[in-house]
Amino acid sequence: MEELDLQLLKRLSKGRKKLTKRINMKDIAKEAHVSVATVSYVINKRPDQKIPMETVERIETAIKKLGYVPNLAARSLVDNKSKLIGVVIPQTEPGKQFMFHNPFYGELLSSIEYNCRIEGYHVLISGTDVNESYLEIAKKRSLDGIIIVGMHKQSYYNDLIDCQIPIVLIDSYCKELPFKSVSLRDREGAKLATNYLISKGHRKIGLATGILTKEGVTRERYLGYIDALEENNIEINEDFIYEGTVSNNYGQALSTQIFKVDERPTAIFASADVIAIGLINGFKKQGMILPKDMSIMGFDDTWLAKTCDPQLTTIKQDVAKKGEVALKLLLSNEEESPKNIVLEIELIERESVYQI
């Protein structure tokens, strides 16, 4: 019995070896009855070699039949490309797993990954800690390029300025940096949102936002909110400016805090939809009728904006286009000076704002 079991294990082991054998160009050449060099020319699409169409088709048939998968590591040694694009989302709040809690990042990363796939690249996502060196990531993985989302501290870029790897910034407001970038009219969008609330008769308008840094998206949207109030001669009430994490949980917790005080705004502009949704859910739990008891305005127009009750009035940005444009800039071989592409915004009117 033990002898039979041993023989069975040996046969299974041989079977595994056959199954795991990596198909190479020699195997394809043998199957297609051509030279290994001809197979290489076809696989690498060499423009300087004219291969008869009948031979190309025979090789492609052999590739399909044998299930050949290119060895990306070997190919990277030949053309000096890893076919890896790094996407870095700086961790501004240590210990917070925020990356996929905000649908904005989900939409952006989906767009980048999809467009990378079309171009034959793979994506390496990193949510780094605030003190981690971004250049170290690139060196370890031999990245062909890096897309950095939402950085705001000028000092973070020092190690990247001399780096030979292409870099594109998304939603970064650091000045005088030699990188291409994609951004939004964030200040204009926040001003548009606040003016919309004013047009609906609101004068006591709050702002729910992430931590206000010296530079960055939250700062730009804060400035747009201030612009609208000042231009309409509305006094700025510091008690109506709420800073916290950009999350649904923060929105819900903030709604409880606001509900408990006597002096509260009649409308709140949330600098991100995910905060706005938290506010809506939280105020409803307190028994408030929305939007009559509290109007809520968002920013981003993520898919959640259409699914909440009431549906969210918000400032729309094309998140998918932002990812697509960033990758195009990254893969561009143009030698011209770095450029910043600024995408447009649009006000989407739904049900979450009450006319006083």
Percent of the chain beyond pLDDT 70? Answer: 78
Residues forming a β-bridge with 88: 126, 148
How far is residue 76's CA from residue 94's CA, in Å, rounded to a whole number? Answer: 35
140 or 290, which is more confident: 290
Domains by residue range for the chain, with CATH:
2-70 (1.10.260.40), 84-184+320-343 (3.40.50.2300), 186-318 (3.40.50.2300)
pLDDT at 72 over 60: no
Concatenating the DSSP letter of every residue in 271-296 gives SSHHHHHHHHHHHHHTT--TTTT-EE
Closest by CA to 247, choosing from 225, 270, 275, is 275
pLDDT at 260 over 50: yes
223 or 144, which is more confident: 223
Maximum Cα–Cα distance for the chain, whole Å? 93
pLDDT digits (tens, 9 = 90+) for 169-206: 999 887 667 788 999 999 999 999 999 999 999 999 99
Out of 126-130, 134-138, 162-166, 267-271, which region has the weakest mean confidence (pLDDT)?
A: 126-130
What is the three-class DSSP state of 222?
helix
Average pLDDT value over all residues in the chain: 84
